[in-house]
Amino acid sequence: MTKPDSVAVGPLPVGSVAPEFELRDQNNRRVTLSTLREKGDVLIVFFPLAFTGTCEGELGYIRDNLPKFDDTTLTTVAVSVGPPPTHKVWSSAQGYLFPILSDFWPHGGVASEYGVLDTDRGYANRGTFLVARDGTVRFSDMVGPGEARTVDTWDEALSLRS
C-alpha cells in the first residue's frame, strides 16, 4: 500500500468563497474573518512556524512595508499552527504589529480548509490569499516546503484589491 501524498493538494481557487474562521491572535484576542472583512479586503498569509528564517524574512517584509499591507481598506493577518503565547514572544521580538493568528486547535483546521496544510509535517505550507470584502478569494497561491514567497507574489496579490 502506498502512502498518500501528505502535502496539501492545492490552495482554494480564485472565485471560491473563503471559509470563515475564528482564531486567537498573539494577544489571545478572538479574530474572525467576517469582522476583518467589515473593513475591506483581507490578505491571509499562512506560514509554517515561528522562529524560522524564511518565515521571519517573509513576515519581516510585511513589517517593513506595513503601509502597503494595512490601511483603511486592507488588513493583513498571518496564520500558523503555533499557539498564541509563542506568537506573542516572536511578534514582540520581531516587531510585527499585524495579527499573528493561531491555527492551533483543531490543529491546522483553517489551513486544511484553505488547502495548504501539510498533514505529515503538521503545519501549513506558505499559502497566500486575498479575500475580498464580499468573501470571495481574489488571489490564491501556495509554495511548498523550503520555498519562499517572492516580492512578485506580494505585488500580484495586492494589485487585485477591490
DSSP string for 8-45: -S-PPPTTSBPPP-EEE-TTS-EEEHHHHHHHSEEEEE
Asked whether the whole model's pTM tops 0.75, one would answer: yes
Q: Considering only CA atoms, which of 5, 7, 22, 3 is closest in space to residue 115?
A: 7
Q: Considering only CA atoms, which of 113, 137, 103 is closest in space to residue 23?
A: 103
Looking at residue 1, its pLDDT comes to 34
User: Digits of tens for pLDDT over the chain (162 positions)?
Assistant: 333 445 456 899 999 999 999 999 999 999 999 999 999 999 999 999 999 889 999 999 999 999 999 999 999 999 999 999 999 999 999 999 999 999 999 999 999 999 999 999 999 999 999 999 999 999 999 998 789 999 999 999 999 998
Looking at residue 8, its pLDDT comes to 53
For residue 58, the SS3 value is: helix
**HSE on the CB side for 102, CA within 13 Å?**
19
List the catalytic residues: 55
Looking at residue 2, its pLDDT comes to 35
Report whether 103 contacts 78 (CB < 8 A).
Answer: no
- CA-to-CA distance for 119 and 117, rounded, in angstroms? 6
Looking at residue 3, its pLDDT comes to 37
Looking at residue 97, its pLDDT comes to 94
Looking at residue 146, its pLDDT comes to 83
Domains of the chain and any CATH numbers: 22-159 (3.40.30.10)
